[in-house]
Structure 1
Amino acid sequence: MAGDIANPRLWEGADLWTAPVGTLLPTDLSTDMTDVAAWKAVGLLSEDGASEGRDEDTSDFYAWGGKLIRVRRSKHKRTITVTCLEDNLVVFGLVNPGSSVSTANGVNTRKIRIPKSERVSFCLELMDGDITRRRFIRQGEVTAVGEVALSDSALQAFELTITIYPDADNVLYEDIDNDPQGAAPEAPAG
Structure 2
Amino acid sequence: MAGDTDNPRLWEGADFYAAPVGTTAPTNVATPLDPAWLPVGLLSEDGASESRDQDSTDFYAWGGVLVRTAKSKHKRQIVVTCLEENLVVFGLVNPGSSAVTATGVTTRTVKVPKADPRAFVLELRDGEVTKRRVIPKGEVESVGEVTLSDSALTAYELTITIYPAADGTLYLDITDDPQAVVTP
TM-score, normalised with respect to structure 2: 0.98
- Once the two structures are TM-superposed, the CA of residue 184 in structure 1 deviates from its matched residue by 0.5
Distance 1:52 1:131 in 2: 20
Distance 1:47 1:29 in 2: 22
Task: Name the amino acid aligned to 2:23.
Answer: T
SS in 2 for 1:19: strand
Q: Which runs of no fewer than 5 residues in structure 1 stay unpaired?
A: none
Query: Pairwise CA RMSD of aligned residues?
Result: 0.8
- Once the two structures are TM-superposed, the CA of residue 165 in structure 1 deviates from its matched residue by 0.1
Counterpart residue number, 1:91 = 89
Identity fraction in percent: 65
Counterpart residue number, 2:9 = 9
Deviations 1:148-184 (A, max 9, x none): 0000000000000000000111100001000111110
SS in 2 for 1:92: helix
Match of 2:163 among 149, 162, 165: 165
Distance 2:54 2:26 in 1: 31
Structure 1 residue ranges, 4+ long, deviating more than 3 angstroms after superposition: none
Deviations 1:72-93 (A, max 9, x none): 0000000000000000000000
Counterpart residue number, 1:28 = 28
Alignment of 1:1-190 (within 5 A): 1-33=1-33, 36-186=34-184
Task: Name the amino acid aligned to 1:15.
Answer: D
TM-score, normalised with respect to structure 1: 0.95
Deviations 1:136-157 (A, max 9, x none): 0000000000000000000000
Aligned length: 184
SS in 2 for 1:94: helix
Distance 2:62 2:2 in 1: 40
Deviations 1:46-97 (A, max 9, x none): 0000000000000011122222111100000000000000000000000000
Task: Name the amino acid aligned to 1:69.
Answer: V
